[in-house]
Structure 1
Amino acid sequence: MASISADDKTWKATPMTCSPQPVTSPEKKPIPLRNDSSEPTKGSDSVFYLAYGSNMQDETFLGRRGIRPLSQVNVLVPGVTMTFDMAAIPYLEPCVAGAQFTSDLDAAAAGREADANVVDLEKAPLLDGYSSSSSHWSSSAPRWTKPMVGVVYELTPKDYERVIVTEDTRYRVVEVDCHPFPESYRPEDPTPEKLDTRAFKARTLMSPPRDDPFMRPDPNYAQPSLRYLTLLRTGAAQRNLPLDYRAYLDSLHEYHITTWRQQVGRAIYLITFLPLLLFLAFLKLYLLDRLGSSPVLLDKLQEGTFKGMWLAYDGLFQRLCGDGERTIEESDTVLSKN
Structure 2
Amino acid sequence: MSDDIHWYFAYGSNMLEEVFVKRRKIQPRKYEIAAINTHTLCFNVMGVPYTDPAMGGIRLREEQEIPVYGVAYQLTSEDMRRVILTEGGGIAYNTATLTATLQRDGSSISVTTLVARHQVDRSWERLPSRRYMGLLIRGAHEKSLPIEYQERMVSQPTFEPTSSLRFRLGKKIFDSIWQRVARWIEICVHRLKGDDGEVPRWFLKTFDCLLWTMWFHHDYLHSILWGRGDGVCR
Tell whether the 8 Å contact from 1:287 to 1:293 is kept in structure 2 after alignment: no
State the one-letter code of the partner of 2:92. R
1:285 Cα offset (Å): 2.5
Pick closer, same or farther for the CA change 1:86–1:263 going to 2, 3 Å: same
Q: Secondary structure at the match of 1:232?
A: helix
Q: 1:305 aligns with which of 206, 210, 232?
A: 210
Tell whether the 8 Å contact from 1:46 to 1:156 is kept in structure 2 after alignment: yes
1:287 Cα offset (Å): 4.9
- 1:236 paired residue number: 140
1:246 Cα offset (Å): 1.3
State the one-letter code of the partner of 2:113. T
| 1:160 aligned onto 2:80 | yes
Q: Which protein is bigger by CA-based radius of gyration?
A: 1
Pick closer, same or farther for the CA change 1:69–1:176 going to 2, 3 Å: same
Tell whether the 8 Å contact from 2:15 to 2:143 is kept in structure 1 after alignment: yes
Give the count of matched residue pairs. 229
State the one-letter code of the partner of 1:244. E
Q: Secondary structure at the match of 1:218?
A: helix
Q: Secondary structure at the match of 2:123?
A: coil
Cα RMSD (Å)? 2.4
Q: Deviations along 1:237-262, whole A, 9 cap, x unmatched?
A: 22111122112212223211224332
Runs of 4+ in 1 over 4 A off after TM superposition: none
Gaps of 5+ in 1: 1-17, 19-42, 107-143, 184-196, 329-338
Tell whether the 8 Å contact from 2:40 to 2:67 is kept in structure 1 after alignment: yes
TM-score (norm 2): 0.87
- 2:110 paired residue number: 201
Q: 2:128 aligns with which of 205, 220, 224?
A: 224
Q: Using the alignment, how far apart are the partners of 2:223 and 2:66 within structure 1?
A: 34
| 1:252 aligned onto 2:172 | no
Tell whether the 8 Å contact from 2:101 to 2:107 is kept in structure 1 after alignment: yes
1:57 Cα offset (Å): 1.2
TM-score (norm 1): 0.62
State the one-letter code of the partner of 2:100. C
Identity %: 26
Pick closer, same or farther for the CA change 1:61–1:99 going to 2, 3 Å: same
State the one-letter code of the partner of 2:224. R
Tell whether the 8 Å contact from 1:236 to 1:246 is kept in structure 2 after alignment: yes
